[in-house]
Amino acid sequence: MAKVIKRNIDVALAIGIGLLLLVISIIGIQKMVVVDQADAQTTDTAAVTVYATVAQTIDISVSSSALNFGTLSDGSVSATNTNFLVKTNAANGYTVTIYDVGDGTTGGLATSSALIAAPSGSVGSTLTAGTQGYGAQCSTTDSDVNIYAVYNDWTGPNNVGPLATTTNNFTSSTSATAGDQSALYLRAAISATSTVGTYEDTITLTATGSF
């Protein structure tokens, strides 16, 4: 009888020890779980690098692509004009040059056989009624625009600058612009004996950026 009781006590003790070990291990696991929660990553980042390019741009346009002096008279100096606009992101500005077709060799208003010549080289002239002549001038109210001296006499007495089949500097600026506006003026005069005909010239303005 005493042996049975002792065995039961041993069994109960073994079960008790077993339960105690079980509780201890559960507590241990819980602690491990708590440690894992403290280390858990709840945010993360990913970086994206973005690239974009701004290209060099320059644009020149004229408000009138055809000008007409009408019928010239030996009693007056005739004039006509068009505005031109330069846009560029060139940080150091731009230069505008001018050249014309003339008779293919010399600048001027031409027919297939006659020429009302413009001044050549880098020197201008002053037109007078009754004497053949032709040439270009520039005017602007834009303080950013520099007009090369030989073309900067619009307020003078019928002054004109040269037009040639090779380029002359016309205007310039030292900064980028969303739109610098100036005006190309042309003047022409004839004599009493100027050759009859329909005269024509083509003038090209070229803007070159200083990037």
Stretch near Ca ion under the rule CB under 5 A, chosen from 14-22, 29-37, 67-75, 175-183? 175-183
Smallest separation, CB 107 to Ca ion (Å): 29
E strands present in the chain? 58-62, 78-88, 94-100, 108-110, 115-117, 125-126, 133-139, 146-147, 159-160, 168-173, 177-189, 203-209
Smallest separation, CB 144 to Ca ion (Å): 4
128-147 residues near Ca ion, rule: CB under 5 A? 142, 144
Stretch near Ca ion under the rule CB under 5 A, chosen from 19-27, 94-102, 149-157, 169-177? 169-177
Smallest separation, CB 45 to Ca ion (Å): 46
Among 100, 103, 153, 180, binds Ca ion (CB under 5 A): 180
Smallest separation, CB 155 to Ca ion (Å): 21
Here the tokens at position 160 are: 């004109």
Among residues 116, 93, 108, 125, the alpha carbon closest in space to that of 165 is found at 108
Stretch near Ca ion under the rule CB under 5 A, chosen from 87-95, 127-135, 146-154, 173-181? 173-181
Instruction: Provide the edge-to-edge strand list for the sheet that holds 133-139.
Output: 58-62, 78-88, 177-189, 133-139
- Which of residues 95 and 177 has its CB atom nearest to Ca ion in the complex? 177
Position 74, amino acid: D
| Alpha-carbon gap, residue 90 to 94, rounded angstroms | 7
Residues that bind Ca ion (CB under 5 A): 142, 144, 177, 180
